Amino acid sequence: PWPQPQAIHTTPQQYGVHPAAFHFLVNQTSQTCDLLTSALDRYYKLIFYPYSYLNYILDPESVIDEIKDKPKKTLFDL
Amino acid sequence: RDTPLLKRLNVYIQEPCEQYPTLESDESYTIVVTSDSAVLEAVSIWGAIRGLETFSHLIYPDDNLGLAINQTTIIDFPRFQHRGLLLDTSRHFISIKTLKINLEAMSNSKMNVFHFHIVDDQSFPYESRSFPDLSGAGAYNQDHVYSQEDIASLIEFARQRGIRVVVEFDSPGHTQSWGRVIDILTHCYSGGKPNNEFGPMDPSRNSTFNFLKKMFSEVATVFPDHYVHLGGDEVDFDCWRSNPDVQAFMKQMGFGNDYSLLEQYYMQKVVDIVGSTGKGYAVWQEIIDNNVTVKADTVVEVWKDPYPDELARVTKLGYRTLLSTCWYLNYISYGKDWVNYYKCDPHNFAGTDAQKKLVVGGEACMWGEFIDATNVITTTWPRAATVAERLWSAANVTDPNAATPRLEEHRCRYLRRGIPAAPVNGPSYCDFEFNR
């Protein structure tokens, strides 16, 4: 990551990350608000649709079809 | 087939969400990815947003898995609270859309203060509610303006990313564009007659301060951040010296021929005006150099060299301080100029621990003499990201050789995300090149 975190430890153990199998969960006991839900929505798009993300946040109408219409697996292949 | 899938990221925030980030916000978080269910914990919403950014960095393209993440544990928090970027929208106008792309790039590097240097001598693009003529006559033209809706949408876009918008209305100098319709500037004289030139704001007239009172009470309502940047840098005294009313005022005030006392008087009035709105203020270091008495929570921005001496002097006076001296990114040169930015450190000065604690961070500055929407992103990024690492990461993260491959990867990440970050490490490539 950039900037370098204060403390980070990783191992070679990998996990696959698949747009159809992954989701964000807000813990029941967690505080929540509009900022969190919009951040989760944003980062889901940033992680799985990086190529159209910027257009989406700057002009959602122009991209929403692309994201909506694209079957997840195609994007995954990408 | 035998590699497990990561199925979820459990997010947990401890405290109720604040509406806006502040200088005191807690941005710490932890991330644990050790099974098909990862966990992100944060004290505040701002830490959660920083953690989500890091989480998005942990996921990478993998030939077999498509996208992958490694088993990871992260404990993270910023070294400095104020990690800013100044953009100057007066010397060249920059569209709101480009300003938002810059905010996006800032959040990808965890920068958290947008220093909106919105007006200056050259143009006044801020559409004021109280004084619409200021941009009517002061903007380059009627398209090169920021409406109240533009400003509000920029502030919201920044808030969503945990970025504070600290606006700068610099005075008494750098105000030529203010005076095109409202008579607040000093009339300069030659040979005992007005010469149709104008200087800094005219401190000898009460009308100047009546205007400023109205203007800053508007600014206080439009910009939610606790701090307004009042500038106060580079005041030229020649015009003041030439004006007979100002000369009379100097005599009346007993300032003799010391015009820095007049500058001090002006800034004292302005900080009192802004202080009465309940706002805090940031100022360039000249205000302190000229012994203006400011509120204890004032933030002083150091831009002069040698910065170690300047930091030592300002923190010795007990003010919270920002460093920007070594991060004027508008000075461009051929080659890896980011290494010098990376080596600069806000604690690199002789001072007590108490003085070091007064340094709350720093800012990368992109002045607009030769910068507009065509090159602001490519010139600023990823070079500003090296300032972001200096201000976020531990003090011992200083090796530019170790940083080089990581900066390359971060640049490629920007390209993947549609942000045209320029090459800064010589010949190389990214799997996904910019091709907008």
Token pair recorded at residue B244: 């007979």
Q: Is residue B299's pLDDT more than 80?
A: yes
Residue B431 to residue B408: CA distance in whole angstroms:
11
| Distance, C-alpha B346 to centroid of its chain | 16
Residues pairing with B9 in the sheet: A24, B38
Residues near B118 by Cβ (< 8 Å), separated by ≥ 6?
B89, B90, B125, B126, B146, B167, B168, B169
Instruction: Measure B238 CA to nearest chain A CA, in Å.
Output: 46
Please pick, among B27, B234, B263, B433, the residue that the annotation labels catalytic.
B234
Mean pLDDT in residue range A8-37: 95
Q: Does B110 contact chain A (CB < 8 Å)?
A: yes
Complex-level ipTM: 0.93
CA dihedral (B397, B316, B77, B111) positive or negative:
negative
Closest CA to B383 of B402, B365, B398, B368: B365
Instruction: Measure A55 CA to nearest chain B CA, in Å.
Output: 8
Q: What is the pLDDT of residues B109-122, one digit of tens each?
A: 999 999 999 999 99
Residues of A in contact with B65 (CB under 8 A): 14, 16-17
Residue B417 to residue B96: CA distance in whole angstroms:
19
Q: What is the pLDDT of residues A48-58, one digit of tens each?
A: 999 888 888 88
Residue type, B101: I
Instruction: Measure A58 CA to nearest chain B CA, in Å.
Output: 7
User: How confident is the model at residue A61, as a pLDDT?
Assistant: 67
Q: What is the pLDDT of residues B362-398, one digit of tens each?
A: 999 999 999 999 999 999 999 999 999 999 999 999 9
- Among A8, A43, A53, the residue with its CB nearest the CB of B74 is A8
Bond prior to B306 in cis (omega within 30° of 0): yes
Reported as a pLDDT band with limits 50, 70 and 90, residue B23 is very high
Mean pLDDT in residue range B56-79: 96
Q: What is the pLDDT of residues A23-50, one digit of tens each?
A: 999 999 999 999 999 999 999 999 999 9
Give yes or no: B234 in active site: yes
Reported as a pLDDT band with limits 50, 70 and 90, residue A76 is very low
CA distances (Å), origin B355, targets B22, B175, B317: 21, 33, 9
Reported as a pLDDT band with limits 50, 70 and 90, residue A77 is very low
User: How confident is the model at residue B226, as a pLDDT?
Assistant: 96
Select the residue from B33, B58, B69, B80 to test the A interface by mutation, using most A Cβ atoms within 10 A. B69
Q: What is the pLDDT of residues B319-366, one digit of tens each?
A: 999 999 999 999 999 999 999 999 999 999 999 999 999 999 999 999
Residue B304 to residue B325: CA distance in whole angstroms:
6
Which A-chain residues 16-75 have CB contacts (< 8 A) with chain B? 16-18, 21-27, 29-33, 35-36, 38-40, 42-43, 46-48, 50-55, 57-58
Contact check, Cβ <8 Å, A8/B76: yes
User: How confident is the model at residue B254, as a pLDDT?
Assistant: 97
Bond prior to A3 in cis (omega within 30° of 0): yes
Reported as a pLDDT band with limits 50, 70 and 90, residue A72 is very low
